[in-house]
A and B are shown apart, each in its own frame.
Chain A
């Protein structure tokens, strides 16, 4: 838009509205106007964004979501109060429509209470993997219909924020098991939760140990290096990768500090300001998730993770002699699915079923 205003063209026509009469002869073709068209369309349609928060209870997940989106998406409770942690892992989603400057965002947050809280946490990641794959499956089913909806409702998880407890040592076995499995299926952003219990030096030491652990276990968190498209992306994302995992603090109460009203936590020795970069790295997380990389998260989910899922699913039903593009996708065991590993124990039955069904002509 700025280039338009500074354009040396003698005619200061602004072809931003499609209804501008094209009687003038601008020096530029006016392609920049497409950006405006996109913006107007986006404002009308609104955006969807699906986040999942994973971590042990009490690490401030609900508070963080409230702080990120500056609205009471969830009621955060004092420790000790509220619902007791469930015996098994349950997933539970809440959808809100948030509006800012005329732009609507349909935000869905999925919480995972009970994760990592039991004595035996073996395979506690399976319900989460199932859920993620179920969303991919739903989208796939919509996509392969003959008469598709104009806008397929997107419930796929665009980002999974994983809360690492601030032990100060290194990643725990549970963290590693979870991250290894989930990074192949969804964008994972690990954060150091409740970072107000670590001093700056402790945070840096913890962060570098976590980075070492992630590297040695081949865990590729968002932003993934291999998806950087060009040099600009690489520079921008490298800066982010140096600081991952962000040390965050969440708060939903306001306090008065130096005459300003800030979100923070008040203790007997000081007030921790959530949006102050000297106190914690919450602004970095917010910028990553919302201000700069929201669309990128969605794109990677759609172009890479979803496509991986789709390819594997379609390959499983490759024996069907139907017309191009028609597949009969067998119901599958979603808990053990991850890209490259989708195994359907009923593939043969599905094939038989397919052969009995009537042909479709293309």
Chain B
């Protein structure tokens, strides 16, 4: 028997669910950090893929002249009928050189380029098939061997924290004893606060959740930055009944999915199971909007609209809307200054003309000028 007040829109979430399943998700994840911190292994473990199979690690002599490159790898993962198109952006060469000054600039430029591309697409005429290549999340790997964040880490995070969601993780965490892990995490948290770096904040759980859930949630959040271990191998050892992903040492076996050994499960849960969509939303609503506002504001100055036709419109755009091209700001300023000068000269000319007319009145001598 149907309730008289039942309208029926409580079925909306399941409609959304069906639509999402049909459409699928796409997610772009960036991994950054020095080489040798287990980034590739972790990605393979997180998404149970072989994204980095056949990768050739460059030799030492090749590294001497290597510069930072940005690599993209795509994989489609399907689980429970839902398709995820995952793009992993890698930054090989970061932090490897003897002189790493400004080595983060290409990465920052890459992220801004994705925003720029999206802005262009969004302002374009055909918006049906916008490809979202914006970076939704950046996993930044911190070395377990340092005493907290290194100067390079701080510089990178400072340059990126307003442009992408940052989740810091401690790589190769099986190098640390429990006390060392705690001390390192605390030090990193203190340093992040000191340097004013805003990492991605996992949102608060709803007030109507039960206490147990809230406690677990708080405990998980307290473990940030996550200390992770990755492994592509499945091992079988005495401590477990079935084969597990792990690393076999002569003194014991580290189980990747064991919460007492590392925070891998926490990371996977928070990144993939619970907060994937939130990361995309924050990227769109906060970071992208911030970028867009900054861009458009720099154009909304007097004279800008008139100059739109004169400004250098970039590549394939068939639109009339002025696009954010950096040199525009400089040329705008110059044009304005010239305008001012012209105006002043015109005023002076008018004044001179007026004076000439006055002096031509009969009987008056005029001073020459």
A-B complex is real: yes
A-side residues, CB < 8 A to B, are: 56-60, 78-82, 84-85, 117-122, 165-177, 193-194, 196-197, 199-200, 209, 212-213, 216-217, 265-273, 278-279
A173 to B67, CA, bound (A): 12
Partner of B61, one of A58, A167, A216: A216
CB distance from A180 to the nearest CB of B (A): 11
Q: Is the C-beta of B68 less than 8 angstroms from some C-beta in chain A?
A: no
> Can you name the residue of chain A whose Cβ is closest to the Cβ of B37?
A167
Partner of B184, one of A79, A169, A217: A79
User: Which residues on B sit within 8 Å (CB–CB) of A194?
Assistant: 145, 175
A80 to B146, CA, bound (A): 8
Q: Are A173 and B145 in touch, CB under 8 angstroms? A: no
User: Which residues on A sit within 8 Å (CB–CB) of B6?
Assistant: none
A270 to B100, CA, bound (A): 37
Given A172-B63, A269-B261, A120–B99 Cβ distance below 8 Å? yes
A58 to B145, CA, bound (A): 5
Q: Is the C-beta of B9 less than 8 angstroms from some C-beta in chain A?
A: no
> Can you name the residue of chain A whose Cβ is closest to the Cβ of B247?
A199
CB distance from B240 to the nearest CB of A (A): 11
Pick out which of these stretches binds chain A: B252-260, B265-273, B286-294, B302-310.
B252-260
**Interchain Cβ contacts under 8 Å between A and B, 20 examples:** A58-B145, A79-B146, A80-B147, A80-B183, A81-B187, A121-B99, A165-B36, A166-B145, A173-B63, A173-B96, A173-B97, A194-B145, A194-B175, A197-B172, A197-B174, A200-B250, A209-B60, A268-B178, A269-B249, A270-B253
Q: Are B147 and A272 in touch, CB under 8 angstroms? A: no
List 4 tightest A-B contacts by C-beta distance, closest first.
Answer: A167-B36, A270-B252, A80-B187, A197-B175
A45 to B143, CA, bound (A): 45
Q: Are A58 and B147 in touch, CB under 8 angstroms? A: yes
List the count of A-B residue pairs having beta carbons below 8 Å apart: 143
User: Which residues on B sit within 8 Å (CB–CB) of A196?
Assistant: 174-175, 249
> Can you name the residue of chain A whose Cβ is closest to the Cβ of B262?
A268
Pick out which of these stretches binds chain A: B149-157, B204-212, B276-284, B354-362.
B149-157
User: Which residues on B sit within 8 Å (CB–CB) of A84?
Assistant: 147
CB distance from B306 to the nearest CB of A (A): 44
Q: Which of A79, A193, A209, A273 has the most CB of B within 10 A?
A: A79
A82 to B155, CA, bound (A): 22
Number of residues of chain B lying within 8 A (CB) of chain A: 50
> Can you name the residue of chain A whose Cβ is closest to the Cβ of B181?
A79
B-side residues, CB < 8 A to A, are: 34-37, 57, 59-61, 63-64, 96-101, 143-148, 150-152, 155, 172, 174-180, 183-184, 186-188, 247-255, 260-261
Q: Are B186 and A80 in touch, CB under 8 angstroms? A: yes
Q: Are B98 and A58 in touch, CB under 8 angstroms? A: no
CB distance from B249 to the nearest CB of A (A): 6
Q: Are B148 and A80 in touch, CB under 8 angstroms? A: yes
User: Which residues on B sit within 8 Å (CB–CB) of A213?
Assistant: 59-61
Q: Are A58 and B143 in touch, CB under 8 angstroms? A: yes
CB distance from B97 to the nearest CB of A (A): 6
User: Which residues on B sit within 8 Å (CB–CB) of A200?
Assistant: 249-250
Q: Are A81 and B183 in touch, CB under 8 angstroms? A: yes
A337 to B98, CA, bound (A): 21
With A166-B145, A196-B174, A269-B251 given, name 18 new contacts (CB 8 A). A56-B145, A58-B145, A78-B180, A79-B144, A167-B37, A172-B60, A173-B60, A173-B64, A175-B60, A194-B145, A197-B144, A199-B248, A209-B60, A212-B59, A216-B61, A217-B61, A268-B260, A269-B253
CB distance from A122 to the nearest CB of B (A): 5
CB distance from A194 to the nearest CB of B (A): 5
Partner of B251, one of A56, A121, A165, A270: A270
> Can you name the residue of chain A whose Cβ is closest to the Cβ of B102?
A119
Q: Are B180 and A79 in touch, CB under 8 angstroms? A: yes
User: Which residues on A sit within 8 Å (CB–CB) of B37?
Assistant: 167
A200 to B183, CA, bound (A): 28
User: Which residues on B sit within 8 Å (CB–CB) of A265?
Assistant: 177
Q: Are A272 and B100 in touch, CB under 8 angstroms? A: no
CB distance from B223 to the nearest CB of A (A): 15
Q: Are A269 and B248 in touch, CB under 8 angstroms? A: no
Given A56-B145, A82-B147, A268-B260, A170–B57 Cβ distance below 8 Å? yes
